[in-house]
């Protein structure tokens, strides 16, 4: 599997790093243009207690930033994403200033000024003159390598690039650059810091444009070259197969033409093929409609545009992996969460197949000679886990589910990947066991991917088969001799909880919580959720009735009380060590799930069942009760599990399931009629 230690010498999961220092109390952002204030707003939202100093030489920019902050906070309150006192805390303790002396107590300074090397160097010397010797100093440049900016500094070890993506207050990724002049300690700290404050840090090498802008800039530049065959609207339309908005639409939104000229000129150091299209210098706005608008593109033209766009995308992707600029999992994810691709480049390649990718690359080479081609066989680039980070500590494989854009919700590929890691490693004599956890601090996993459910609606056979297929990973864990421990780092919901409870033990942080929300969607937990809890922790049966039939959520303390969680830890930093210890404790002591019939208390439900203030479907609740009862009455675990799959088949054919799932996907409350 491609996972490079060069970029990640300490850990792939940023939260496994023991931070060398606490959170900063004061942070400065230099530059109140477009992205600087947004970086500041993210920092204040994640850490409202900090003092933020926003510095610019232009007073008007600072005034605009202040107004923008107030607007963001008001919108969040209006949309009920934030309480008023939270909004107030974010807006307090911000200094908008033109005076650099204000930053002297800052422990972290992020520069987000114009992309101009002499200007940046001047700013960094002003910063260095004022701050303490261990203040971390970073630049948000999207293209200039670290050595060119920081080489004149007295103490470059505490510097690096931290590159955000618009809109920086909510866009998840941040590229953190590793470079020879900066220390590993600085990179490790920032890697941890961003993850801990809700971002998805991606470590990249110190090359021009780092990782993701090599894709974005060249994608846009290639689109501009294609204007000799098609209109901007046509090119955007063809691109929409792969991105939510075409390159010209995005360039218009970001006023991006001069940026592409600048960054591609810089990339020409690697060869003249990176030449920026000259039309980018003479056009201000492109004539292109909103994404989704109808635009006619004839078949031949469409193919020609599509091949060129894919050619540049694949060329850059191969080059990034071949030169170890970034890892394939980061590139694949980053293109989706930073650049708006519907799928990662390696997913597109996989769907097209090797022969088609080779054809596209041959044509691309002919039309655009000089661009990088794949250095290895096309299949080599598929050898990585899309959604997992796999670390190894003390002979234990630690599997981190990383799908941050959906709170680590499990799709078919994730469960297959988990199963593959277990199968690849369980027979290895030097592997003692496994830990499964979720990326970030919010979610272990928010359940099975609800987007997948519509395919099973109204089709009992398909629904039952789907449940059986999903269950493979659980069935494998059931019979493993090496321990598998779930390290619950946040919410564990639905299908995510069904994986957690099949692990041989659960360790959780104090603020974790557990819920089966399926019934609110008009369905039931199919992969052992209606069966296993009663067989593993019969003392919690009353609570499980409430959880499964009424979506009651329980906190980590309640789960600990009924024995579902073996150990609670105060803070995330203790979670993995406790899970490793549990792997050791379980050696030769794995308790198998009870096989026989189980007695469960009578299930009594209100006449009008509700989850909080949401009405539930009576029909769905009835099917769920019947499924729990059938599972308890089964003589063998395998029969009980089968009752769960059958129950899912039945419930998938109800009006309630159709309504509940459709409502979630349409982001509205469901209305159940029976």
Residue with Cβ nearer ligand COA (389 or 446): 446
Q: Which stretch binds ligand COA (CB under 6 A): 2-10, 162-170, 449-457, 625-633?
A: 449-457
Q: Rounded to an integer, what distance in angstroms lies between the CA atom of residue 557 and that of residue 546?
A: 17
Is 185 designated active site? no
Is 518 designated active site? yes
Q: What dihedral angle (degrees, nearest 10) is formed by the CA atoms of 495, 500, 503, 507? A: 180
Cα angle value 498/502/503 (rounded, 5°): 120
Name, in order, each residue with C-beta under 8 angstroms of 607's C-beta and a sequence gap of 6 or more: none
Residue with Cβ nearer ligand COA (361 or 493): 493
**According to CB under 6 A, which one of 506, 521, 564, 568 is a site residue for ligand COA?**
521
The two three-digit tokens of residue 394, written as one number: 């003390």
Q: Rounded to an integer, what distance in angstroms lies between the CA atom of residue 21 and that of residue 399?
A: 26
Examine residue 528 and tell whether it contacts ligand COA (CB under 6 A).
no
Strand 396-401 with 433-438, pairing: parallel
* Residue 554 dihedral angles phi and psi, to the nearest 5°: -120, 145
SS3 (DSSP) at 556: helix
Residue with Cβ nearer ligand COA (182 or 447): 447
Q: Rounded to an integer, what distance in angstroms lies between the CA atom of residue 473 and that of residue 320?
A: 33
Residue with Cβ nearer ligand COA (521 or 637): 521
Give the DSSP per-residue string, 353-401: -HHHHHHHHHHHHHHSTTS---SS-GGGGG-S-SSEEEEEETTEEEEEE
Window 466 to 495, contacts with ligand COA (CB under 6 A): 493-495
Q: Rounded to an integer, what distance in angstroms lies between the CA atom of residue 32 and that of residue 66?
A: 10
Minimum CB separation from ligand COA for residue 452, in Å?
8
Name, in order, each residue with C-beta under 8 angstroms of 37's C-beta and a sequence gap of 6 or more: 29, 54, 64, 65, 68, 69
Minimum CB separation from ligand COA for residue 129, in Å?
43
Q: Which stretch binds ligand COA (CB under 6 A): 66-74, 357-365, 443-451, 624-632?
A: 443-451
Minimum CB separation from ligand COA for residue 342, in Å?
12
Window 30 to 59, contacts with ligand COA (CB under 6 A): none
Pure H helices in 151-228: 184-196, 212-225
Contact predicate 489/437, CB 8 Å: yes
Residue with Cβ nearer ligand COA (96 or 169): 169
Contact predicate 532/544, CB 8 Å: no
The two three-digit tokens of residue 457, written as one number: 């609606």
Residue with Cβ nearer ligand COA (311 or 631): 631
Please say whether the dihedral angle defined by the alpha carbons of residues 234, 240, 246 and 250, taken in this order, is positive or negative.
positive
Give the DSSP per-residue string, 3-49: --TTT-SS-SSGGGS--SS---SEEEEE--SSHHHHHHHHHHHH-TT
Q: Rounded to an integer, what distance in angstroms lies between the CA atom of residue 256 and that of residue 553?
A: 46
Minimum CB separation from ligand COA for residue 236, in Å?
22
Window 198 to 257, contacts with ligand COA (CB under 6 A): none
Q: Which stretch binds ligand COA (CB under 6 A): 12-20, 178-186, 404-412, 552-560?
A: 404-412
Window 608 to 667, contacts with ligand COA (CB under 6 A): none
Residue with Cβ nearer ligand COA (104 or 442): 442
Q: Rounded to an integer, what distance in angstroms lies between the CA atom of residue 157 and that of residue 14?
A: 20
CA distances from 368 to 230, 273, 312 (A): 17, 7, 9
The two three-digit tokens of residue 50, written as one number: 């900090």
Residue with Cβ nearer ligand COA (238 or 508): 508
Q: Rounded to an integer, what distance in angstroms lies between the CA atom of residue 89 and that of residue 44?
A: 8
Residue with Cβ nearer ligand COA (264 or 411): 411
Residue with Cβ nearer ligand COA (103 or 409): 409
Given 175, 417, 498, 659, the catalytic residue: 498
**According to CB under 6 A, which one of 226, 409, 436, 562 is a site residue for ligand COA?**
409
Element (H, E) at 505: strand 505-509
Q: Rounded to an integer, what distance in angstroms lies between the CA atom of residue 277 and that of residue 282?
A: 10
**According to CB under 6 A, which one of 107, 449, 582, 642 is a site residue for ligand COA?**
449
Residue with Cβ nearer ligand COA (447 or 609): 447
Examine residue 518 and tell whether it contacts ligand COA (CB under 6 A).
yes
Q: Which stretch binds ligand COA (CB under 6 A): 187-195, 230-238, 323-331, 441-449?
A: 441-449
Residue with Cβ nearer ligand COA (166 or 393): 166
**According to CB under 6 A, which one of 448, 467, 484, 559 is a site residue for ligand COA?**
448
Q: Which stretch binds ligand COA (CB under 6 A): 39-47, 162-170, 209-217, 444-452?
A: 444-452
**According to CB under 6 A, which one of 517, 522, 533, 540 is a site residue for ligand COA?**
517
Minimum CB separation from ligand COA for residue 436, in Å?
17
Given 128, 518, 582, 659, the catalytic residue: 518
- Distance between alpha carbon 468 and the CA centroid of its chain, in Å? 27
Contact predicate 504/483, CB 8 Å: yes
The site for ligand COA, by CB under 6 A, has a size of 15
Minimum CB separation from ligand COA for residue 404, in Å?
9
Minimum CB separation from ligand COA for residue 536, in Å?
19
473 closest CA partner among 463, 461, 486: 486
Q: Which stretch binds ligand COA (CB under 6 A): 206-214, 389-397, 401-409, 561-569?
A: 401-409
Examine residue 407 and tell whether it contacts ligand COA (CB under 6 A).
yes
CA distances from 620 to 112, 356, 548, 615, 643 (A): 53, 46, 11, 12, 15
Catalog residues that contact ligand COA under the rule CB under 6 A.
406-407, 409, 446-451, 493-495, 517-518, 521
Catalytic center residues: 498, 518
């Amino acid at each position: 599997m491609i996972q490079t230690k060069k970029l990640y010498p300490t850990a792939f999961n940023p939260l496994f790093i023991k931070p060398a220092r606490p959170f900063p109390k004061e942070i400065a952002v230099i530059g109140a243009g477009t992205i600087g204030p947004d970086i500041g707003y993210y920092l204040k939202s994640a850490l409202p207690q900090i003092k933020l100093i926003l510095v610019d030489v232009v007073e008007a920019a600072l005034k605009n930033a202040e107004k923008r902050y107030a607007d963001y906070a008001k919108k969040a309150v209006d949309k009920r994403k934030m309480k008023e006192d939270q909004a107030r805390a974010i807006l307090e303790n911000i200094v908008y200033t033109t005076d650099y002396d204000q930053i002297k107590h800052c422990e972290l300074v992020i520069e987000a000024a114009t992309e101009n090397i002499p200007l940046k160097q001047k700013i960094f010397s002003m910063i260095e003159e004022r701050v303490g010797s261990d203040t971390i100093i970073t630049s948000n440049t999207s293209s200039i390598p670290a050595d060119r900016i920081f080489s004149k500094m007295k103490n470059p070890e505490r510097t690096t690039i931290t590159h955000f993506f618009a809109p920086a207050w909510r866009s998840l990724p941040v590229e953190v650059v590793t470079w020879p002049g900066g220390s590993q300690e600085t990179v490790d700290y920032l890697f941890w810091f961003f993850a801990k404050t809700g971002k998805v840090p991606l470590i990249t090498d110190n090359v021009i444009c780092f990782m993701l802008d090599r894709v974005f800039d060249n994608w846009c530049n290639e689109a501009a070259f294609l204007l000799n065959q098609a209109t901007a609207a046509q090119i955007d339309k063809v691109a929409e197969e792969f991105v939510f908005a075409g390159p010209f639409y995005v360039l218009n939104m970001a006023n991006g033409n001069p940026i592409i000229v600048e960054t591609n000129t810089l990339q020409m150091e690697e060869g003249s093929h990176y030449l920026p299209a000259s039309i980018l210098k003479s056009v201000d706005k492109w004539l292109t409609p909103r994404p989704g608008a109808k635009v006619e593109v004839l078949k031949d033209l469409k193919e020609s545009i599509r091949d060129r766009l894919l050619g540049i995308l694949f060329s850059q992707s191969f080059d990034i992996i071949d030169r170890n600029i970034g890892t394939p999992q980061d590139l694949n994810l980053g293109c989706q969460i930073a650049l708006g691709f519907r799928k990662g480049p390696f997913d597109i390649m996989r769907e097209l197949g090797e022969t088609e990718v080779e054809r596209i690359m041959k044509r691309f080479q002919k039309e655009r000679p000089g661009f990088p081609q794949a250095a290895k066989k096309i299949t080599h680039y598929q050898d990585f886990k899309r959604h997992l980070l796999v670390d190894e500590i003390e002979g234990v494989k630690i599997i981190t589910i990383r799908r941050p854009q959906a709170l680590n919700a499990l799709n078919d590929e994730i469960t297959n990947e988990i199963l593959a890691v277990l199968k690849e490693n369980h027979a290895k004599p030097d592997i003692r066991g496994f830990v499964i956890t979720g990326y970030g601090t919010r979610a272990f996993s928010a359940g099975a991917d609800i987007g997948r459910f519509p395919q099973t609606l109204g089709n009992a056979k398909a629904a039952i088969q789907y449940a059986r297929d999903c269950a493979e990973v659980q069935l494998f864990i059931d019979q493993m001799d090496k321990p598998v421990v779930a390290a619950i780092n946040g919410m564990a919901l639905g299908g995510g909880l069904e994986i957690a409870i099949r692990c041989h033990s659960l360790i959780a942080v104090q603020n974790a919580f557990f819920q089966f929300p399926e019934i609110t969607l008009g369905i039931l937990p199919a992969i052992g959720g209606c069966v296993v809890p009663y067989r593993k922790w019969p003392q919690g049966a009353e609570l499980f009735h409430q959880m499964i039939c009424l979506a009651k959520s329980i906190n980590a303390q309640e789960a600990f009380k009924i024995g579902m969680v073996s150990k609670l830890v105060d803070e995330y930093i203790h979670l993995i060590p406790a899970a490793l210890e549990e792997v050791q404790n379980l050696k030769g002591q794995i308790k198998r799930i009870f096989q026989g019939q189980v007695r469960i208390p009578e299930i009594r439900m209100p006449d009008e069942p509700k989850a909080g203030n949401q009405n539930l479907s009576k029909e769905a609740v009835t099917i769920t009760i019947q499924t729990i009862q059938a599972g308890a009455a089964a003589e063998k675990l395998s029969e009980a599990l089968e009752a769960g799959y059958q129950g899912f088949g039945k419930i998938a054919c109800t009006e309630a399931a159709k309504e509940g799932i459709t409502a979630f996907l349409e982001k509205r409350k469901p209305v159940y009629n029976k």
